[in-house]
Amino acid sequence: MTEFAQLVSGWQWFYQGLCEADATLAGLLFVSLTFNSSIMQDSKNDYLQRLAEQTLSNYISLIIISLLFLVPNQIPVGIGIPLLAISVYSALHAVHLLWQ
């Protein structure tokens, strides 16, 4: 096992807990949006729709990042390229929501 893989495996419990917490919060957000669907569909609450979309996007990004770090025997490029792609997507998505 490489030094990088050993370093990442030392943080496995942290990323596992982070993934579990993010999945729980994303599920709670989904449930709350389902219960308040009439409020979310009102055109004067567009800001709430954008806020919910951005929050769910952030939770999903954190879940994917946590899962990347849970892959065994990881190499720097194996984590770096997906992290770069997620970062670029998240930044573009945030700019798109701000533009609206």
How far, in Å, are 52, 60, 97 from residue 90 at the CA level?
15, 10, 11
Q: Could you give the angle at the alpha carbon of 65 between the alpha carbons of 63 and 66, nearest 5°? A: 65
Mean pLDDT of the chain: 89
Q: Could you give the angle at the alpha carbon of 33 between the alpha carbons of 31 and 39, nearest 5°? A: 145
pLDDT at 19: 93
pLDDT at 37: 83
**pTM for the full predicted model:** 0.82
pLDDT at 98: 82
